[in-house]
Structure formats: C-alpha cells, structure tokens
Amino acid sequence: MIQVEQLEDSAQADAALEDLLYETYVRGGFTDAILAHTLRAPAIRSRGIVLAARDRTPSLLGTVTLVARDSPARRLAASDELELHLLAVRPDARRRGIGEALVRDALQRAKAQGARGVVLWTQPTMDAAQRLYRRCGFERDASADFRRGARQFLVHRYVFANSDTYTRSTAR
C-alpha cells in the first residue's frame, strides 16, 4: 500500500529527496547539470509542500511539490490556481501507481486550500508523465506552452468540477 504524506524535515529525508530529483531530472536528461543546484532540498522545500510516497519501507519512492500561492517559484498559475512541480518516482518503483497517488493527493490538498485548478508543465519526451496527467484529469493548454533555452515545455491544467465559472482564459 502506498502512503503519501508531507516529507518529514530531516537531513536523511533531504538527502533522499535530492538523490531522487537528481536521478530523475539530471541523469534522466530533463535538467542541465549546471542547474542541479536548483534541486537542493532547501530550494525545493521553499516552494511549498513536498509530498513523499512510501510503501511499507521507509524508502522514498516518489515525490511531488505543491507550490504555495505566495511562492516566488510560481510561474504560470493564476491567482486561483496552484502549481505542481517536480513529480519524480524512483525508476525501480515505477508502474506501481506511485505517481498517480502523489498527483491525486496533491489535487486533494489543492482543492482543500480553495484552489479552482492546478497547472503543471512537462517536456515533450515525458510520455509516461503526460499519460498519467491525462488519467488524472489534466488537459493540455497548448496556448500556455513555453520554451526555456533549448527546452520546450508543455502546459497541462486541471480544473476542479465545482469550478463551473472558471475558464482557461482566466488561468493566465
């Protein structure tokens, strides 16, 4: 059984978070090595709530960050949206529902905070992540796609069902 909770504040948890993010993003080819310092635990924790997925063992299997409304790390979210950053699942733990558990937990937390929607972005080669986001109810917002240097980013949005007055045009 996968449990999702806020990552505890400890040196061991920080080391596990940094290792997982480095493995996923730098070694995975999604972040340039020169930017690896942005994946340090204090920088990630300063963004908002860092969620951790574990099974019966204490090992960190996956993580995602729900970015706080007042975080300077927010890039695309409208005032009534929250952002998800840095979904990562250990390679040996993939295809077990860990990513989905993390995303669904983050969505529940965002809704509980009064958000009308959630925005995130991926890279075109992140096929598994894009399938996961579609399964969780996110829709592509190609009008918000962007480039950073040589990298292209694809934007996805989730709108909570009770947000009937919310439209994508207000989400920019």
Q: What is the pLDDT of residues 1-21, one digit of tens each?
A: 899 999 999 999 999 999 999
User: What CATH number does the domain containing 20 carry?
Assistant: 3.40.630.30
pLDDT in tens, 84-109: 999 999 999 999 999 999 999 999 99
Q: Which residues, including other chains, have CB under 8 Å from residue 66's CB and lie 6 or more apart?
A: 48, 49, 51, 82, 83, 84, 106, 109, 110
Calculate what percentage of the chain has a pLDDT beyond 90.
81
Whole-prediction pTM: 0.90
Per-residue pLDDT, 161? 87
Containing structural domain, residue 57 = 3-170
Per-residue pLDDT, 170? 40
- Rounded to the nearest angstrom, the gap between the alpha carbon of residue 147 and the centroid of all alpha carbons in its chain is 18
Per-residue pLDDT, 58? 85
15-18: long-range contacts (C-beta < 8 A, 24 or more apart)? Answer: 15/41, 16/59, 16/60, 17/41, 17/44, 17/50, 17/52, 17/60, 17/63
Per-residue pLDDT, 168? 43
Number of domains making up the chain: 1
- What's the rounded mean pLDDT across residues 28-44? 90
- Rounded to the nearest angstrom, the gap between the alpha carbon of residue 4 and the centroid of all alpha carbons in its chain is 14
pLDDT in tens, 115-169: 999 999 999 999 999 999 999 999 999 999 999 988 999 999 999 987 544 444 3
Per-residue pLDDT, 117? 97
The residue with greater pLDDT, 117 or 170, is 117
Calculate what percentage of the chain has a pLDDT beyond 70.
94
d(CA 79, CA 70): 10
Per-residue pLDDT, 93? 92
Do residues 166 and 134 make contact, with C-beta atoms less than 8 angstroms apart? no
